[in-house]
Chains A and B, each alone.
Chain A
Amino acid sequence: MLVIAALIIVPLITALLLLVFRSNRARVVLVIAAVALLVALAFVLTARYLFFSSGFAVAQSGFLSYVMLGIDLVCCLYILYRGIRATNYLAIFLAGLQGVLALVYEFGFSHNAAVSIDVYVDELSLIMTLIIAVTGGGICIYALGYMQSYQEHLEHEGSGLAVSGEPSRVAEALRLVRDRRHIFFALMFVFLAAMFALVFSNRLSWLLTAWEVTTVCSFALIGYARTEEATKNSFRAVVVNLSGGLAFTLALIMLAGGGTQLFELDKLIEAGVGGTLVLPLMLLAFAGMTKAAQMPFQGWLLGAMVAPTPVSALLHSSTMVKAGVFLLIKLAPSFGWNIPGLFVLIMGALSFLGCTALAISQSNAKRVLAYSTVANLGLIVCCAGVGTPEATWAAIFLLIFHAGAKALLFCCVGTAEHHLGSRNIERMDNIFVRMPWLASCMALGMMAMFIAPFGMLVSKWAALVSLIETGHMELLFVLAFGSALTFVIWAKWLGKVLAVGREDERISTRVSRLEMVSLAGMAFLLIALTLGIPYVSELFVMPYLWETGLVLQLPIWAQASEVLGYDNLMIMSIVFMVMLALLVVQILRRRPPSNDTVYLAGVGASSEERSYYNAFSELRDATQRNWYLEQFFGEGALLRPVTILLSAVMALFFILGIVAELMPL
């Protein structure tokens, strides 16, 4: 219990300290110390849970509920304030309504309710804790280096503006340039604290508070740059997430009122398995989907890229979107062949297919990553909707490896962007020669996203098997075509990143040491995770399924066996070892530099520049662009029909849900 409390309080105290000590040195020391402490705490918790105790649940109550309500209200007030300043009526309305409903819920239902367990730990929350502490912490360290160059860049640009312009523009420039990094880092740590609270809360009202805090933190971080675009996109994000929060609150009120009287997550899941809940589950699923940026809500996550890269990394890997899928995975036992289950499953599957296809047409690296996040979360959501232990296994594996790979990828892209001056994939041509280590990390992250023997593919494989076994034939098509599309997205980018040209021309570009250390750490973690696939399954994922089965008295869950078989997991691990071994041989076997040149029809001038002499003896560059297949997969061709389709499906399911609620069979 102490460890859990520490996990939530340490980042909060760090955030406060960061606000007080604003110097660069102090910040570096504080952040590194806090991250080290958090990682240590996460491991202590894991060790205690795995080896000494079979699970502990602690009752706490009293004034903590007031604190939580207070935090929730502060969140609403903050959004109200920002909404009024920006005259965004939708945000004002939603935040106001949210505040009122939260008060209604607390004092109308929840406050005097008898809650036996407030805080809990199980393997899933342990997995989440490790992800949050390790990748989230890694991103915070990375941000130390990144924000340094970000600020320098900003000041450089600002001075340009100040020189050029009239007084109003100078003022604008000064406003944008002001060093607010202390706020930035404080928000990052509050975010982590909220995530920790989210994965441990069993009392639904506390869960809601944590949920709202993540919304507000993401809002503030997306709008960090304070440009017009950043503000606009931050409001877009907050509106979507507030509507999700509203759905969450409504679900809680429905659960608390009526005959059900549910105030705890475990009781909720238990009731859900019984099949009596329809609309509340759908509302919770809706909340999860908005947070996980499922189509048709993907817009906010794509817009969130105006924020500095560590924010994107944090949102996409260990926090925010993972909160959405975490909730859905928790609820997985209650899904299956029922209305909420099918709702979740179909929305997730279509998001997966739609966003994978959309990602093909993108040349902006961060947009590709964002679409791929939505797609992979779609797969997680879909697996949660299937509601079998095998599918849940796949969902959790997807969650783990997606977090690891995406954090690494976003950080790599951020660093590359600073050094290349562009996020365009086409500009990453030759990055392997300029920054070999960065390119290798990036390639590792990309391969981890889609190909054997890495975790994402293993989870996709498990998803495929579990879909067959549950008879979701239509989804098998989705998965088969989706996998092929995924190959295209990554293969062409990977090719650009790994283009070596002539290696004797290597020019290294200096990358900030903090950035490099955290990138190397994340890459190492990913390698370790891939090698340890069988153990991750054995130590964390399978016990979670069994325990869920025991608690809910579901024999299928309690007796679930490894979906792919232990031997297949071992094979994947061995294949990866073969790849690594050959890579070591390759690196150790240094050959003399070659004097070979690229074939350019006999008129090549330089292999590095890929230039040639044309028919007029003029020097020209041979350029080669990747395939983006816009006519098939472009946003213009796909975005509108897919959005309409998904909105229609969602509306249909909610009508079904309401009908089912009103007229129980």
Chain B
Amino acid sequence: MTLLSFGVALLAFVVLGPVLGCFLTGADRIITARMQGRVGPPFLQPYYDVQKLLAKERRSLNSFQGYYLILALVMTVLSGAFFFAGGNILLVVFLISLSSLLFVIAAYSTRSPYAEIGAGREIIQVLAYEPMIILLGVFFYLATGSFDTSAVATLGLPLVALLPLIFVGLLFILTIKLRKSPFDLSFSHHAHQELVKGITTEMSGHNLAVVEITHWYESVLFLGYVGLFFVWAPPLTLVLAVVVGLAVYFLEIVIDNSFARVKWQYMLSWSWIVTLVCCALSMVLLFALYGFVV
């Protein structure tokens, strides 16, 4: 990763990230509505929502909440830029967890009991998905010999062929990360009445708009993770990665609409079990099939 490639990626991600994220969310809402036998909102509805939120009165319980949320947005953008610039995958992971932490603190900072419940649940969500994300970075290194995401471009075959089970594990925790049922414990876009919308309870107006935009960036970044498994040496595979990313997003929407929210115990124990099993078996597979020795 050179400074130039980082600059280009940063610029591209800053501009394209929210556009793509907005489109994804818009499509999500229409598809969800159709699955429920409704017409659904316009495609650009998420954009209208954010624009409306930004036009609202500027008022919040304290000014620190805004600081934490802006910082969380900056960290998400930075990590996305590192990711798409071919930077260190662990760096991306650590910056994303900083972003999650800032989001949690933003909720805590208001001292709202509802927001604190959401924040507590968000922490449990991090506990559930963090091991898989870190181990994904580790396995990435084992398969490619480098921590840089750009290393996939030198591979002779896609990462998914080398690490199929890691991909499964990623899909499992992706449901948490994209805030989809059954793992949308801290807040979701659907179970609106539940605990007054969890972690975002006290975030209103422009603060809520920042949360929404951060979520757009995050969605794109995590679909990027999915795409990473389908890119290898030929440049055309980038198209395949996009297609697979979109397919996975559709799959997540289907899952979202087919499940009810589960209890945190269930989410935590299953995420950890899936992580352990997938990673342990991957280790065996990697060794048996490709005879990798460190």
Complex contact flag A–B (Cβ < 8 Å): yes
Among A476, A499, A601, A622, contact of B110 (Cβ-Cβ < 8 Å) = A499
Is B131 located at the chain interface by the 8 A CB criterion? yes
Instruction: Name the B residues within 8 Å of A575 (CB-CB).
Output: 75, 78, 95, 98
Extra 17 A-B pairs, beta carbons < 8 Å, given A491-B101, A503-B62, A607-B61? A451-B97, A451-B98, A453-B98, A468-B141, A477-B135, A480-B131, A483-B130, A484-B126, A484-B128, A492-B119, A495-B119, A498-B105, A575-B78, A575-B95, A579-B71, A594-B62, A599-B202
Cross-chain contact of B283 among A447, A473, A491 (Cβ < 8 A): A473
Cβ–Cβ contact B108 & A484, under 8 A = no
Q: Which one of A77-85, A216-224, A234-242, A582-590 is at the B interface?
A: A582-590
> Taking chain A's interface residues, is the majority helix, strand, or loop, or is none over half, making it mixed?
helix
- The answer to the question of A108 belonging to the interface, with a C-beta cut-off of 8 Å to chain B, is no
Whether B193 sits at the interface, judged by CB under 8 Å, is no
Determine how close the nearest CB of chain B comes to the CB of A563; give it in whole angstroms: 11
Mark each residue of chain B from 57 to 96: 1 if its CB lies under 8 Å from any CB of chain A, else 0. Answer: 0011111111100110011001000100000101100110
| A571 part of interface (Cβ distance < 8 Å) | yes
Closest chain-A Cβ to B48's Cβ sits at a distance in Å of 24
Is A624 interfacial (CB 8 A cutoff)?
A: yes
Contacts of B75 in A (CB 8 A): 575
Point out the residue from B90, B123, B272 that lies within 8 Å of A492, measured CB to CB. B123
A612 vs chain B, min Cβ distance (A): 9
Of B91, B108, B120, the contact of A499 (CB 8 Å cutoff)? B108
Contacting pair B105 A495 (CB below 8 A):
yes
Q: What's the least CB distance linking B126 to chain A, in Å?
A: 5
Docked-complex contact A598 and B111, CB < 8 angstroms: yes
Contacts A582-B70, A594-B60; A600 near B113 (Cβ below 8 A):
yes
Question: Which A residues are in CB contact (< 8 Å) with B70?
Answer: 582
Q: Quick one: which of A485, A492, A591 contacts B63, CB cutoff 8 A?
A: A591
Q: Are B94 and A457 in contact (CB under 8 A)?
A: yes
Interface check A430, CB cutoff 8 A: yes
B114 contacts chain A at the CB level, 8 A cutoff: yes
* Contact residues of B between 105 and 163, Cβ < 8 Å to A: 105, 107-114, 116-117, 119-120, 123-124, 126-128, 130-131, 134-135, 138, 141-142, 147
* Interface presence of B201 (CB below 8 A): yes
Closest to B131 in A: A480
Chain B residues lying within 8 Å of A56, measured Cβ to Cβ, are none
Taking a contact as CB atoms under 8 Å apart, the answer to whether B116 and A624 are in contact is yes
Chain B residues with CB under 8 Å of A471's CB are 293-294
Task: Report the bound CA distance from A411 to B178 in whole Å.
Answer: 40
- Cβ-closest chain A residue relative to B3: A567
Q: How far is the CA of A481 from the CA of B273 in the complex (A)?
A: 12
Q: Which of B74, B105, B134 contacts A494 (CB 8 A)?
A: B105
Determine the distance from Cα of A571 to Cα of B82 in the docked complex, in whole angstroms.
10
Contact B108 A571 (CB under 8 A): no
Interface set of A (CB-CB < 8 Å, partner B): 429-430, 447, 451-453, 457, 461, 464-465, 468-471, 473, 476-477, 479-481, 483-485, 487-488, 491-492, 494-496, 498-503, 567-568, 571, 575, 578-579, 582-583, 586, 589, 591, 594, 596-601, 607, 610, 622-624, 626-627
A-B contacts, CB under 8 A, total: 165
B243 at the A/B interface (Cβ < 8 Å)? no
- In the complex, A624→B119 CA distance in Å? 11
> Measured between C-beta atoms, what is the minimum distance from B121 to chain A in Å?
9
By a beta-carbon cutoff of 8 Å, the part of chain B in contact with chain A is 1, 59-67, 70-71, 74-75, 78, 82, 88, 90-91, 94-95, 97-98, 101, 104-105, 107-114, 116-117, 119-120, 123-124, 126-128, 130-131, 134-135, 138, 141-142, 147, 196, 201-202, 272, 276, 279, 283, 293-294
The one of B61, B78, B111, B196 that contacts A430, using a Cβ cutoff of 8 Å:
B111
Residues of A within 8 A of B71 (CB): 579, 582
A568 to B93, CA, bound (A): 13
Q: Residues of A contacting B65 with CB < 8 Å?
A: 500
What is the minimal beta-carbon distance from A451 to any residue of chain B, in angstroms?
A: 5
Identify which of B111, B131, B196 gathers the most chain A CB atoms within 10 Å of its CB.
Answer: B111
Nearest chain A CB to B5 CB, angstrom units? 13
Check B62 against A487 for contact (C-beta < 8 Å).
no
**B64 near A607 (CB under 8 angstroms)?**
no
Instruction: Verify A479–B74 contact, CB threshold 8 A.
Output: no
Residues of B within 8 A of A598 (CB): 61, 110-112, 202
Check B134–A599 contact: CB distance below 8 A.
no
Q: Are B126 and A599 in contact (CB under 8 A)?
A: no
Q: Would A488 and B127 count as touching, CB distance under 8 A?
A: yes
- Once bound together, how far apart are the Cα atoms of A325 and B112, in whole Å? 43
A487/B113 in contact, CB under 8 A = no
Give every chain A residue within 8 A of B113 (Cβ-Cβ): 600, 610, 622-624
Known contacts A469-B294, A610-B111, A451 near B63 by CB under 8 Å? no
Q: Are B110 and A500 in contact (CB under 8 A)?
A: yes
Kindly state the separation between the CA atoms of A329 and B82 in the bound complex, as whole angstroms.
34
Given known contacts A502-B62, A610-B113, A476 and B138 CB-to-CB distance under 8 angstroms? yes
For the complex formed, measure the closest distance between the CB of A355 and the CB atoms of chain B, giving whole angstroms. Answer: 16
Asked whether A596 and B59 contact (CB < 8 A) given A476-B138, A480-B138, A491-B126, the answer is yes
- Docked CA distance A430–B131 (Å): 32
Chain A residues positioned under 8 Å from B91 (CB to CB): 452, 568, 571
Return the contact of B94 from the options A461, A469, A484 (Cβ within 8 A).
A461
**B108 and A488 within 8 A (CB):** no
CA distance A495 to B124 in the complex (A): 14
Q: Which residues of A contact B123 (CB under 8 A)?
A: 487-488, 491-492, 627
Q: Is the CB of B109 within 8 A of A498?
A: yes
Which residues of A lie under 8 Å from residue B279 when comparing CB positions?
A: 477
Cα distance, A451 to B104, chains bound together (Å): 13
Q: Say how far B56's CB is from chain A's closest CB, in angstroms.
A: 13
Set B1, B82, B130, B276: member contacting A477, Cβ < 8 A: B276
Q: Tell me which residues across on chain A come within 8 A of B141, comparing CB atoms.
A: 468
23 A-B residue pairings within 8 Å (CB atoms): A452-B97, A465-B147, A473-B294, A476-B138, A477-B131, A483-B131, A491-B104, A495-B108, A496-B108, A498-B105, A499-B111, A500-B65, A500-B111, A502-B62, A567-B1, A568-B88, A582-B67, A583-B67, A594-B61, A598-B61, A599-B201, A601-B196, A627-B124
CB distance A487 to B127 under 8 Å?
A: yes
Are B135 and A487 neighbours in the complex by a CB distance under 8 Å?
no
